[in-house]
Structures are given as C-alpha cells and as structure tokens.
Amino acid sequence: MVEPTALFPGKRESVATRWRQVYCGSVSSKLVQRASFMRFHKTVAVVVWYSCLSCGLWLAADDNWPQWRGPALDNVSDETGLPAEFNRDKNMLWRFEMPGPGGASPVVWGDQIFITTTDGEGGLHLICVGTDGVEQWRRQLQGNDRAVRMDNANLASPSPSTDGQHVWANSGAGFLECFDMEGNPVWSVDLQQRYGEFDIQFGMTSTPILDNGRLYLQLIHGNMRDRATTSTGTVAALDAKTGDEIWQHQRNTDGRAENKHSYASPIIVRDGDREFLVTHGGDFVIGHSLDDGSELWRCGRMNPPQDYNPFLRFVASPMYRNGRLIVPSAKNGPVLCLKTDLSGDVTDNDDAFHWVLEEGTPDVSTPLLCNGLVFLTRETGIVLCIDAATGQQVFTDRLLAGKHRSSPVHADDKVLSLAAMAPFWCWLPVANSTYLPKTNSAKTPPHHRRLLTGEFIFAHPMRCTVSVYKRGRSQSHERILRMIVTSPMIGRGQYPL
C-alpha cells in the first residue's frame, strides 16, 4: 500500500478559512508517493465508489447518465449524500482495468456502463462493463487509432451515448456505429465517405448529441494552411435507429487558419417555446433549427477582426442552463453569456447578452453553471467563479496543480473536478454563493477535499471524466450512490467532447 504524506501542515486564519471549516469540516489533504511511470503504461482504470445510506425510504426511478454531460447536457446531477473522500481502501466499490488510454466519458444506463477506448496497439473499442465491475462485452470499432499531438492524443475521444435500447459509438477515425445493449451491431456510417475527408490537426473529437431519436453532429474542419479560404463545416442530423440522414447544413464563417478547426461538441437549448441546436467553431457560435438545420442566429465577439488571432481554435463547448447560454472561447479569451431570444447576427447587439467576461475562458474544460454560479476551470488549475446573474467575479483560486482539462460536474451541492497531473480529485462545496470564499490567493486553498486513489491519474495531460448516477435497492431500503470515474494514466485524448 502506498503511504501518504501531509501536504498542508497549517491553515490560514481568515473568514474564508472559517467558512471552509464550517462547510468542509476537518480536511486531511494527502499526497501519494510517486510511483513508477512505466508501471502504469497503457493503463486506464474505471473506478466506482459508493455510499450506502440506511434511510428506510423508497426510491424514485433509477437515474441514468446517457451521454456526455448527463441527461440535460449540463454536467449536473441531482444526487445527494456522496462520500467526501475515498482511496483504494475506503469507499471504493471496484476497479476495472482498460486495455489502453482514451479521452471519452463513460455513460450509464441501468446496470451497464459504456466507454470507448484504444487498445494501445492501433485498435479502437467500445466496452460494456456491468455496475458490478464485470465486463459484459467489448466490440472493436471500425478504423484505426493514430497518435496525434506528440503522442498526447488519440482517436478514442468522442463519447458514446445510449437510450437504453441502443448504444452509439463514434471515433476520430470517422465511423459512427450503433449496437444493441447486448453488443450486436445494428448499423454503421462512414462519416468521411458521406461528408468528406476530415482535415483537422488533432483529430475529429466532437461527440454526437442524442436527442429525441436523432443524433446531431458538427464536423468543423478545413485546410488551415490555406489562408485564402474561410471556415466551412457540416452540421447534420441522423436517424438514430437507422443512421439515415435527416438533414445536413453547410456552416460557413469567417474563421481562418487554425480557427477552421473545432474540437467542441454541439448542445441542444430548450427555453420555454424556444429550442435550437448550438454549434461552436470557426470564430462563431451558431444556433440552428432542429427541423432542417438552417441558421437562426450567430454570434462572434470572441475573436475580433481588428485583433485577429489565427490560432484561437475552440475546444471547450458551450453549456446552457436556466436561461443562460455560456459560451467559452480559447486561450484566456472572452466568455459570453447569451440570452436565448436571438435572431440574425447578434455579435454587436448588446441586448443579446446577459454579460460578457473579456478574459478568463477555459481553454478545454466546458463551463459549469450551478446554484447561480458559473465555474470556469482553467488549464492552469485556476478556477474562476462568476455570478451568473451579473457576470461579476465571486472569487478566483488555484484548486489543482499542473494541467487541468476535465469538465467539472455538480452533485450534492459540490463541484467535482479532476486534476490532470496530480493524484487527486477535489470537491468544492457550493451550497450558497454568499458563503463562497472571496480570495485571490494564488496558493492551493484547503477549502476543497482531495479524493485519493493512491496512484497518478495521468503521466501526460489529458482529461478525466466523471458520471454520477444512482441505483436503488428497495428490498433492503438501501440507497446506493455511485460515481464512475475514468482515469487514464497516460493521457492521449487531448481534447474533450
């Protein structure tokens, strides 16, 4: 067993410290001793922890986590009672070793967990693991993996999705495949044959969005060395049961050079009687009709022509919640908070915005909105907390050491985020914005909990992913809360979906 050592010997006496003591209790932060780099070569672990509460209550219907960012595409779970810490000997239910690294998020339906991965030898796979930790089946996907970005990324970055009857798996190799829940193939589409060969520097990592029997795709790419042309992408809707195309739309913007490439994923926005698909790339965020893909509105303002950055490719995806569409950019650029009653080009229409943050965007992580707060987790490990109503900064602090590329999840009035080159996860309680510490400390504060696995999550930076869901056992009146965490030891899935 790996012996931990103390990381924070003391605490700062301040209002923020007293807040942390009240809401976090006594936190014993620990640092796992360094393990051999080669020991974790090609290893990817799926870790499940649990908390059993003998509450004597009958449970509601089981919740699922059917696609990346959860049922509402907002990375928010209504789960409660989650454990505050775990390691190999505490609150860990089981571990499952994967055949190789990957950047996809696990999805959960019923008692099945689905994850795409590489095998370390050029193959791409979809694996189904039961919630008991036992593998049910695995299927090799079409196409071959390839290492990109100096071997720090691969083509197993798009996440799968499921509706409980079928599971869909996509990869950067360009094949979108459908299986039933027993792993039998149903259909397969070669997206490059249908929509043209991908021309994107670090691989097509965008995850298709499953919604009401359709799969929505954004394929935004192009020759970045051709400075004479601007961005042209394809947005498409497919019938999820057959793979047949329902519609496609050509997406044109003024994006040039590397900005022709987008690694973001689309989302669906529903606000009252308004609903639309949102795509992100080529210097613009654009809203599309769900009926035919036609453009409803667009917004730039993230890469102004007078100070144009030809390398501001978008990686982080937009997110929507409670009437606010949060749109990140890249490389410490702006963050937009848009309204939803939009039409035409709203780039210069101030009435289209709730607020604009001129700098501080996450470069990779998708923003999180919960309890009236927007959390922006920067690649440097610094988090910015923004008041969702006003756009004013509540606090900024360093929560994680080293690279940080995971998208945070909200559950149990806590924000869960995962470090890239450190052996921990962290909880940041957010029960009420009035209690949040207003500090500008550059040091890692003790107000978050570090959840240790006893090993390094990464040897190279990529993103970790989390799915939170619940299963009920009404017979014993036990409530079992579980979290699925994929933690690649060698990060090759550079960009999130």
Q: Is the pLDDT confidence value at 432 over 60?
A: no
Ranges 290-304, 402-416, 420-434, 480-494: which has the least confidence: 480-494
Could you give the 3-state DSSP secondary structure of residue 330? coil
Contact between residue 301 and residue 286 where contact means Cβ atoms under 8 Å apart:
no
The pLDDT, as a whole number, for residue 264 is 94
Phi, psi dihedrals of residue 426, rounded to the nearest 5°: -135, 145
Say which DSSP state 23 is in.
H
Q: What band does 98 get if pLDDT is binned at 50, 70 and 90?
A: confident
Output DSSP code: residue 374: E
Secondary structure letter of residue 241 according to DSSP = T
Closest Cα to residue 336, out of 268, 407, 283? 283
Across the chain, mean pLDDT equals 75
- Provide the pLDDT confidence category of residue 6 given band limits of 50, 70 and 90: very low
Task: Report the C-alpha gap between 303 and 306 in whole angstroms.
Answer: 9
What are the backbone angles phi and psi of residue 193, rounded to the nearest 5°? -70, -35
| More confident of the two residues 468 and 389 | 389
| Model confidence pLDDT, tens digit, residues 171-206 | 989 999 999 999 999 999 999 999 999 998 888 989
Please give the model's pTM, rounded to 2 decimal places: 0.80
Q: Which residue has the higher pLDDT, 78 or 37?
A: 78
**Which carries the bigger pLDDT value, residue 47 or residue 259?**
259
**Residue-wise DSSP of 153-205:** B-S--SPPEE-SSEEEEE-TTSEEEEEETTS-EEEEEEHHHHH-----TT---
**CA distance linking residue 317 with residue 39, whole number of Å:** 34
What is the C-alpha separation between 273 and 255, in angstroms, rounded? 31
222-231, 361-370, 391-400, range with greatest mean pLDDT = 361-370
Token pair, residue 275, equals 């609903």
For residue 190, CA distances in Å to 139, 345, 398 come to 17, 33, 43
pLDDT at residue 100 in the model: 85
Phi-psi region at 224: left, alpha or beta (left = phi > 0; alpha = psi -120 to 50): alpha
Which of 350 and 200 is assigned the larger pLDDT? 350
User: In 3-state terms, the chain is what percent helix, strand and coil (to 5)?
Assistant: 5, 40, 55
Pick 113 or 420 by higher pLDDT.
113
Which range scores top for mean pLDDT: 8-17, 233-242, 253-262? 233-242
**Residues of 365-394 as b/e, b for ≥16 C-beta within 10 angstroms?**
bbbbbbeebbbbbbbebbbbbbebeebeeb
Contact between 328 and 366 (Cβ < 8 Å): yes
Domains and CATH numbers, the chain: 32-488 (2.130.10.10)
Phi/psi for 433 (5° steps) reads: -60, -25
pLDDT at 427 over 90: no
Sort strands 368-370 and 344-345 into parallel, antiparallel or unpaired: unpaired
Cα dihedral 380, 364, 227, 356 in deg (nearest 10):
-90
Task: Choose among 219, 214, 218, 216: nearest CA to 239.
Answer: 214
pLDDT value at position 457?
31
